Amino acid sequence: MKYSKKHKNKKYRKKRLINKLILYILTILIVIAFSNFYDKVDLVAKSALLIDSETNNIIYSKKSTSRMYPASTTKILTAITALDYLDLNEIVYVDNEIYLTPLGSSTAGLCKGERLTVRDLIYGLMLPSGNDAAQVLAVHTGKKLSNKEISFRVARDKFIELMNKKAQEIGAVNSNFTTVDGFHDNNHYSTAKDLALITQESLKNDFLCKVANTITYQVGKHNDWINSNKLLQQNSEWFTKSVTGFKTGFTSHAGYCLVATAIHNNKSYILVLLNGPKDDIYADAQKLLNKHLS
């Protein structure tokens, strides 16, 4: 009887050991599987997100809900907000609001006294990343929706309110926008996830998709406005065939930022990269896109 009890205890201990070993192996396999899902791609950008824009499935994520400065990727929201209220053929008179443009920032080279269509201004906003175009669109919209006699700053601030309202409606609830152009402000922030949602909303607008995919645009006396997105430029080492848009950004605080859309095998993707060194942001984009879209 004693031998039988000892034998049973030995079998029980052996069984427990085997179960522990199986559990340990399963844990290792799960960790490996999870690591492979959010691949160990060595990215320089501090925040990143790659999603299937139709299913919202996350393909890659790195601090995608952390607050970051979005720089000129802000202009995606500026564009879709303006297009909610303005007609593409609407004529806009460029006035003193261009002097609201931060000194030393990127511009479309607009001049006081010009008359441009909203269509032109959206191209000037998105391709050369014109902060002056952002100011003109914002002030024109703000004045149109309220009292045309209000000041340029008040009109712009009303537009910023509309931007934040739009972001909330989209679901970009972890963002706060205080500028129309993305020029640095400590209280102006977003996340990779929120920017993906904003971009997803912009994909519903065929005109904006066309703009984001345009390499050059010429209007009036202006030199060609050239798209700053190197992933679209065929003469660039960073040219990526699957990429269809969308927006670049940079400030000294935000670093280099990039939002890109891509199509592969009839599936649509959105990539967001925030706060990286100059060309490394494109290297990061190619790493992720080549790995997952090939």
Residue 283's pLDDT band (cuts 50, 70, 90): very high
d(CA 162, CA 170) in angstroms, rounded, equals 12
Angstrom distance (rounded) from CA 256 to CA 250:
5
Residue among 268, 265, 132, 253 nearest 196 (CA): 268
Q: What's the whole-model pTM score?
A: 0.85
CATH number 3.40.710.10 is the correct assignment for the domain at 43-293: yes
Alpha-carbon gap, residue 159 to 130, rounded angstroms: 17
Residue type, 17: L
Q: What is the per-residue pLDDT for 279?
A: 78
Long-range CB pairs of 96-104 (<8 Å, 24+ gap) are 96/152, 97/135, 97/136, 97/138, 97/139, 97/152, 97/155, 97/156, 98/132, 98/135, 98/136, 100/135, 100/139, 100/152, 100/153, 100/156, 101/131, 101/132, 101/135, 101/181, 102/131, 102/181, 102/183
Q: Phi/psi zone of residue 11: left (φ > 0), alpha (ψ -120 to 50 degrees), beta? A: alpha
Mean pLDDT of 97-114: 94
> Two tokens at 45?
């950008």
> According to the model, what pLDDT value does residue 32 have?
44
Mean pLDDT of 231-240: 93
Tokens of 40: 């160990």
The predicted pLDDT at position 144 comes to 95
Residue 139: exposed, middle, or buried by beta-carbon count in 10 A (0-12, 13-18, 19+)? buried
CA distance linking residue 107 with residue 228, whole number of Å: 12
pLDDT, the chain, mean: 90
Q: Where are the domains of the chain?
A: 43-293
Confidence class for position 277, pLDDT limits 50, 70, 90: confident
